[in-house]
Amino acid sequence: MQSYLVFSDEVRAAKMTGKPVVALESTIISHGMPYPQNVQTAREVEQIIREQGAVPATIAVMEGKIHIGLSDADLIRLGQSADAIKVSRRDLAYVLASRQLGATTVAATMICAALADIQVFVTGGIGGVHRGAETSFDISADLQELAQTSVAVVCAGAKSILDLGLTLEYLETYGVPVVSIGQRAFPAFFTRDSGYSADFQLDSAEQQADFIHTKWQLGLRGGIVIANPVPEEDAMPRAEIEQITVQALQEAAQQGIGGKAVTPFLLARIKELSGGRSLATNIALVKNNARAGAKLACALHKKH
Ligand code: PSU
Ligand code: MN
């Protein structure tokens, strides 16, 4: 299994000298944001993690290997490539075996992080139960991954392109704890309050690390959602984002968008319909998550 993993020099050195490592996904680069903001954000997020005393490991599939830690040329390749494949659990073995370029989702990044013995993963938003899932059956594989793979996922909640109430119900059924930072409300990615509550509020990285460590020490495998609300000054007005979201959802339905194309379509349309403002919010919240995730990785690292 280790033969599928290739570590960057920086991540290998961190593992050898015992420094905390933070995993980062690559679908957000290839399918979540436009070029060149995607590459610029990926670089800046890595830098924030370094400044906090941890080491970033952006994960992608290239030439039949899972790469843990990417070069700048790799980031550019993912950011510019129109044919990077969005890789979730279902796709991972296929994209490896066929030696294609693969960008990992939350689910696939969790799998790869666990293989590489990395416990903390920073992203923007997790996938979830889509609005209308009672007829479409569209439920992100991210949720099943959270149920079974022991990685803490730091995010800004989930976008209201999803049914956040059903998403939280699903996570409860599968025993995935949802923790908010600095507030009890579960954040809705572009806005700080989804109208739903997280299960627990844990404000400091040490508290979060204690909780995660206890869960795994008990043998309760599986992920934890650490939801970090977007800073107030970067948030979008709730009514505006809701209106844009409804329009994007209608267009997706009219155009018959289905399967793994749904989420990238909605992300791109929301960006266009907001005149680019949603992208600025997206970038700000990912950076904010990088800070929280690096602190958590440092706190968790002290427990080993
Ligand atoms: N939500 C976002 N930004 C993203 C994604 C989700 O706000 O970039 C990406 C992540 O990689 C996530 C994936 O794991 O979309 C979920 O896709 P799906 O809904 O097809 O499972
Ligand atoms: Mn889906």
- Find out whether the beta carbon of 265 lies less than 6 Å from any atom of ligand 1: no
**3 C-alpha to center of ligand 1: Å?**
28
Q: Is a pLDDT exceeding 90 seen at residue 270?
A: yes
How crowded is residue 183: how many other Cβ atoms within 10 Å of its Cβ? Answer: 16
Q: Tally the domains of the chain.
A: 1
Q: Which domain holds residue 219?
A: 2-301
**What pLDDT digit, counting tens, does each position of 247-262 carry?**
999 999 999 999 999 9
- Find out whether the beta carbon of 170 lies less than 6 Å from any atom of ligand 1: no
**What pLDDT digit, counting tens, does each position of 193-224 carry?**
999 999 999 999 999 999 999 999 999 999 99
Rounded-to-integer distance, Cα 140 and Cα 130, Å: 8
Residues flagged as binding site for substrate: 86, 106, 140-142
Ligand nearest to the CA of 127: 1
Q: What is the DSSP letter of 259?
A: G
Q: Is a pLDDT exceeding 70 seen at residue 1?
A: no
Q: Which residues contact 121 (CB under 8 A, 6 or more apart)?
A: 22, 23, 24, 25, 106, 109, 110, 113, 151, 152, 153, 154, 293
Q: What is the DSSP letter of 33?
A: S
- Mean pLDDT on 102-123: 98
Query: Which candidate in 25, 215, 287, 295 is catalytic?
Result: 25
Whether the full predicted model's pTM is greater than 0.90, yes or no, is yes
ipTM summary value: 0.98
**What pLDDT digit, counting tens, does each position of 73-109 carry?**
999 999 999 899 999 999 999 999 999 999 999 999 9
**What pLDDT digit, counting tens, does each position of 178-201 carry?**
999 999 999 999 999 999 999 999
Q: What percent of the chain has pLDDT over 90?
A: 97
**What pLDDT digit, counting tens, does each position of 278-295 carry?**
999 999 999 999 999 999
302 is catalytic: no
Supply φ then ψ for residue 179, to 5 degrees. -110, 135
More confident site: 97 or 304:
97
**126 C-alpha to center of ligand 1: Å?**
6
36's tokens: 């060149």
Query: Which candidate in 10, 46, 159, 260 is catalytic?
Result: 159
Residue-level pLDDT at 2 = 73
- Find out whether the beta carbon of 125 lies less than 6 Å from any atom of ligand 1: yes
Let me know: does 27 contact 89? Beta carbons within 8 Å.
no
- Find out whether the beta carbon of 121 lies less than 6 Å from any atom of ligand 1: no
Residue-level pLDDT at 43 = 98
Here the CATH number for the domain that contains residue 165 is: 3.40.1790.10
